[in-house]
Chains A and B, each alone.
Chain A
Amino acid sequence: MLLSAPTRVPSMPDPSAAPAIQMTGMNKWYGNFHVLKNINLTVHRGEKLVICGPSGSGKSTMIRCINRLEEHQQGQIAVEGVELSHDLKQIDVIRRDIGMVFQHFNLFPHLTILENLTLAPIWVRRMRRGQAEQTAMHYLERVKIPDQAHKYPGQLSGGQQQRVAIARALCMSPKIILFDEPTSALDPEMVKEVLDTMVALAEDGMTMLCVTHEMGFARQVADRVVFMDQGEIVEMNTPSEFFSHPRHQRSKLFLAQILN
């Protein structure tokens, strides 16, 4: 159960190794609009971060900068010690180790579920077809929908599609997974199945950055909660501290709106 007395997922961050993600002085503009202001964030391996905040605060933009779906103009972002720059080849290499799950799933409608999952392993990691399909079926079983392998995305429900999207990201054996509001586009009865999948993922020790409004999930899984507003990180704390003793006025306002 997610909301009543959640059992905390044991956290296994490893501060001794190089940080999984390191953002220093990151700034981004859309034209003249300053969308991300002086972001400083370090994420260790195995850490689970939940990023929350009002809409327009730049949360999605920030995590999209990590796998270079958006470009930052100032500051540094380093993933596993490698700095993000304009080198396209290097960006592709970095992206292989980062998985992303989108709000609108973005499954490939013209391919079956199995083909959706095996596409990148075959063409990017150069796996043989048999091995790729084995991996794909393994992850489909982990997200609990192995029988849908030969259907097309249009034939699945929203919750099932999002679980397929998670499996698709996992097939590339990423070191970090980014979640961009994964349950916001789902009907309420399907939110639980996706959140359960994400909790199971967290229990396995995956580094996760999750932009979400699901506060129960944050309480259960997050090592840290990052609150953003108007492009800046306003507050960063453990979930228990953040929810019970928010320090800033804006955080208090946000929590009051969200938790009612």
Chain B
Amino acid sequence: MLSDAKSRSIIIQCALGAAVAAFAALLVSTTFANLRARGIPIGFDFLTMPSRIVISEAILTYKSRDPYYWAIVTGLANTVFVSAVVIVFSSMLGLVVGITRLSSNPLAAGTCRVWVEVARNSPPIVLLIFLYSLWWKVLPPVGEALNLLPGVYASMRGFVVPAISMDAATPGLLVIALALALALAAAGWAAARRGWLPPLAAPAIVTVGVAGLWLADAKFSVDWPTFTGSNFKGGKQLTPELSTILIGLTIYTTGFVAEIVRGGVLSVGRGQWDAGHSLGLPRGKILRLIIIPQMLRVIVPPLNSQYINVVKNSTLAIAVGYPDFLAVMNTIISKSSHSIEGVFIILGVYLALNLSLSSAANWYNRRIAIVER
């Protein structure tokens, strides 16, 4: 019986399964013994108790008397916020840098090459710590803050930007109008990608948007930051920690996205350029209509890996003092001593984030796949 391939395979799998189960049982029993010895309770009911931990900054409102689960959600929101901003900006920048790297202008191509090589060969944590150390060196104290753009100030305390808020009498109408405008814009963009734009598309979108705003009686207010002797009041403040992780991670990720874009453009065969040239299309149109659409399909899998890396690198926020999800969980675990539960939450959340990004990428990949027999 042992030489029969099928029964042998079943026996091996059962034996392995049993060994793994035994090992897991051993681990679990040792863990429980240790926990009991230290008097640590086990259970998830601690999540509804007030946390009493401090989260230095967050995009959600959090106070230290909020329960643990809200602290976890706040930390998660921070991570998602940082990841989303970095993904969006590094994709846009990476597209530009990657294509510029292919330019025949040696100055432009060379500068972009330097950016890419520095990003790819430095550990991100060193880049972040270095940027953070520059903060106090390069920027002036609050009293002499640099005025970069109207309303945008930079100083040792961080960036201050004007905060735009919108008040609408009938928010429902506004939402409908904006949704319509967005749908029109999406349709127009899809049409533009295929090489033509209906002549009245842009005015139509703008009209719908403006009509919606007028009908809903929306009022915009801009909160300009004003300097009050010792600090800025009003506007939105971006701490050095948040600014460092956003700017640093964007610079780092752009290098990788640029390489992916460059590889994508180079992977489109020479024959496509030849065909475009032979039809009399100028270089810019060939790039826009023929090369980039094909390139966008090729780069989806490596871009997906890179976006997952952004989420993973967001954990480096702890090195510059920004409270991301991992940092908050670390504090929670040390404060509440619920290590096992905390570990499960950490692993579960990151795996869930990873899975969502990959599913979205796979869905998009299947939708835009080049149709073949």
Contact = CB atoms under 8 A, between A and B. Distances in A.
Q: Do chains A and B touch in the complex (CB under 8 A)?
A: yes
Interface of A: 67-69, 88, 92-93, 95-96, 98-100, 102, 104, 106-111, 115, 119-120, 122-124, 129, 152, 154-155, 168-169, 172, 178
B281 A154 contact: no
B272 A108 contact: yes
B298 to A, nearest CB: 11
Interface stretch (B223-231, B289-297, B346-354): B289-297
Nearest to A157: B373
Contact of B371 (A96, A98, A152): A152
A67 B278 CA distance: 7
Given A110-B297, A123-B289, A168 B279 contact: yes
Q: Which of B285, B294, B371 has the most CB of A within 10 A?
A: B371
B150 interface: no
A88 B275 CA distance: 17
A96 B280 contact: yes
A99 B278 contact: yes
Contact of B271 (A67, A106, A123, A178): A106
Main secondary structure of the interface of A (DSSP, over half): mixed
Contacts of A102: 271, 274-275, 278
Nearest to B279: A120
B282 interface: yes
B278 A95 contact: yes
B14 to A, nearest CB: 46
Given A154-B370, A154-B372, A122 B196 contact: yes
A123 B195 contact: yes
Interface in B232-277: 269, 271-272, 274-275, 277
A109 B275 CA distance: 12
A104 B373 contact: no
A123 B274 contact: no
Nearest to B290: A108
Contact of A95 (B196, B280, B371): B280
14 contacts: A95-B277, A100-B275, A102-B271, A111-B194, A120-B279, A122-B196, A123-B281, A124-B279, A124-B280, A152-B371, A154-B370, A154-B371, A155-B371, A169-B279
Given A102-B275, A110-B297, A154-B370, 16 more contacts: A67-B277, A68-B277, A69-B278, A92-B282, A93-B280, A95-B277, A96-B280, A100-B278, A106-B271, A108-B272, A109-B370, A119-B281, A119-B289, A154-B373, A155-B373, A178-B278
Interface string B346-373: 0000000000000000000000001111
A172 B274 CA distance: 16
Nearest to A154: B372
B272 A106 contact: yes
B195 A119 contact: yes
Contacts of B289: 119, 123
Contacts of B271: 102, 104, 106
Closest 4 CB pairs between A and B?
Answer: A154-B372, A96-B280, A100-B278, A106-B275
A69 B274 contact: yes
Given A109-B294, A115-B194, A152 B370 contact: yes
B275 A95 contact: no
A107 B372 CA distance: 13
